[in-house]
Amino acid sequence: MKLGYLTMEGRGAAGLILGGVADRLRNDGIRPSGVVQSAAAKPGQHPCETALRILPDGPLLVINQNLGPGSRGCRLDAGALELAVAEVSAGFAGADVLIVNKFGKQETVGRGFCSLIVEALDRDIPVVIGVNRLNLPAFLAFAGDLAEQLVPEESGIIRWLRQVLSR
């Protein structure tokens, strides 16, 4: 199996681990593609404020809408997410690994990074993705029996990737 996922408690926790994984891979000469969260929300920011770093060394893209302090519900800017997908797709040639920060609401309905995940698996490129507990049932339905749960720590994920890359 070349589709690994991790779940963690805490908003953005998996994405931050995946950022460390991406950096370690690059340092080891393995070319990651995809997106990782740039940092956790700062004090005073809404916890949904998210900027994604395009891998391997692309720009930062903010993917949330500023709906004001009293707003509730999803702040995702679906157009900005699709721009992130397009950026990753444009630089996908030559990737060794696809890392996706989060299997989120767009992916649960077949949008967002779904097509790129399928393309990576079709090309025998391993995929690592963060999945929160809310979206886990939809992710498992999407992945079928291809998904393998990973220990949510950098070293374990790197070890898993080295194993699947060596097959």
Helix 114-122 / helix 78-90 crossing angle, nearest 10 deg: 20
Q: Structural domain of residue 40, as residue ranges?
A: 3-166
Give residue-wise pLDDT tens across range 92-128: 999 999 999 999 989 999 999 999 999 999 999 999 9
The domain tally of the chain equals 1
What's the predicted TM-score (pTM) here? 0.88
Give residue-wise pLDDT tens across range 40-94: 555 555 555 678 899 998 888 887 766 555 555 556 778 888 999 999 999 899 9
In 38-163, DSSP assigns E strands to 51-55, 60-62, 97-100, 127-130, 147-149
Task: Give the CATH number for residue 129.
Answer: 3.40.50
131 pLDDT band, cuts 50/70/90, is very high
Q: Is 107 within 8 Å of 135 (Cβ atoms)?
A: yes
Would the pLDDT of 20 be above 70? yes
pLDDT value of position 12: 73
Question: For residues 14 and 12, what is the distance between their CA atoms, to the nearest angstrom?
Answer: 6
Q: What is the DSSP letter of 93?
A: T
